[in-house]
Structure 1
Amino acid sequence: KALRAYKSTLPLIGIFPVGVTNGRHSLLPSRGQVVSYSGAKSGSVGAPLNPDHTHFVLVDNGVEGGKAFGSEIQLRAALEAYISRCKGVPIVQLVVQGGPGTLQTVRATAEALNPIVVLTDSGGAAEAIHEYVLNGALPERLQKFA
């Protein structure tokens, strides 16, 4: 939202699994071409593409529904490492809210020895990470992130 508010031309790339993208069927027949995405609403098992991103890399492993969440993590980590090596840019992961798959992303980032910043008051996985670091355990209400 900040990039949009300040009319930034900085690209913001979203990497997301096709199998949980709401309205994905309108995107698939037009591979390699510019398409107009309607911004379908969140569903019980999926999510819309974030309109604040300028570009998207959609990862398709053939799985649809909730099991597709997290299928983008390995590609994201490899792409981040490649860009970092080629451009000499450091990687810092920012965790704002997040779901159970966020923990897999955090793990991949930690294994690559990259720093992680967690916004603890944002809720979700960020709160679970904060609670675990402080107490070594999760309260019952955050067990879904374990």
Structure 2
Amino acid sequence: MVWGLEMPKLVITVRGGTNNFDLLPRMGKMLQVGLLKAAKSTGAWIFSNGLNKGVTRHIGNALANERWLGFKRGRCISVGIAPWGLVEHRNDLIGRNRDRVYVPFEHPGGKFILLNPRHSNFMLVDNGSVGKPGGDVYFRKRLEKHLSTYPMSPQRGCDTPIVSVIIEGGLYTLKTIAEYLTDEPPIPVVVLGHTGRTADILQYVLRKCD
């Protein structure tokens, strides 16, 4: 049990652009309905970097519309695995055995980023860096690897499946895809085309290879 929750039956780890980008309205709707339906129907957890920017902001928009889209059976479990040194107002979160109030007020032009308020849970990863992205990368990769070999239940005994969803993205996203596909065992990758940059290039290449 983690956070008083049962372990996930599936992990959907969302990767993509870390800078803000727009989605076509139909793609935004497809993301919202598809992601939530996949998570709710399978008992999955959704992983992101937890920061209110880029692809994670779109995940937050989907989570915000969970009830309005007709999903009523419990709240979708969404875990933001965020780099501590990049979180805006992170010192407001320091405390032991007590509640802390996190105010989502961002300083324009600053190098720190707010946590996305729509996520249900967070893991804040501190590798010692401040104001730099990537502090969560190693931990998130190890966590996903651990879960991929973790039995869903003593009765079933099989490992927890993991699937990666790619939305937009840049060169680092391409590197992450390569690592997933060459991992042992390989992690399936779902590319959401018409979202921009890396996702669109991969969609074009895959269609040409058919």
Deviation at 1:24, TM superposition (A): 1.5
Deviation at 1:60, TM superposition (A): 0.7
1:8-23 equivalences under 5 Å are: 8-23=74-89
1:144 maps to none
1:138 maps to none
What TM-score, normalized to structure 2? Answer: 0.52
Residue identity opposite 2:66 in structure 1: R
Provide structure 2 residue ranges, at least 5 long, that are not aligned to the other structure: 1-61, 153-158
* RMSD, aligned CA: 2.9
1:141 maps to none
1:1-146 equivalences under 5 Å are: 1-2=62-63, 4-5=66-67, 6-7=71-72, 8-27=74-93, 29-30=94-95, 33-41=98-106, 43-65=109-131, 68-86=132-150, 87=152, 88-98=159-169, 101-112=172-183, 113-127=186-200, 129-130=202-203
Conservation of the 8 A alpha-carbon contact between 2:85 and 2:130? yes
Deviation at 1:84, TM superposition (A): 2.4
2:16 maps to none
**Structure-2 separation of matches of 1:31 and 1:129:** 45
**Structure-1 separation of matches of 2:179 and 2:144:** 11
**Structure-2 separation of matches of 1:108 and 1:11:** 25
SS at match of 1:30: coil
**Structure-1 separation of matches of 2:178 and 2:109:** 27
Conservation of the 8 A alpha-carbon contact between 2:84 and 2:135? no
Larger mean CA deviation between 80-89 and 119-128 belongs to 119-128
**Structure-1 separation of matches of 2:192 and 2:77:** 23
SS at match of 2:148: helix
Provide structure 1 residue ranges, at least 5 long, that are not aligned to the other structure: 136-146
SS at match of 2:124: strand
What TM-score, normalized to structure 1? Answer: 0.70
Deviation at 1:111, TM superposition (A): 3.2
CA 1:127–1:31: 2 relative to 1, 3 Å:
farther
Larger radius of gyration: 2
Larger RCO (alpha carbons 8 Å, 6+ apart): 2
CA 1:122–1:35: 2 relative to 1, 3 Å:
farther
Higher relative helix content: 1
SS at match of 1:93: strand
Query: How many positions carry a matched residue from both structures?
Result: 132
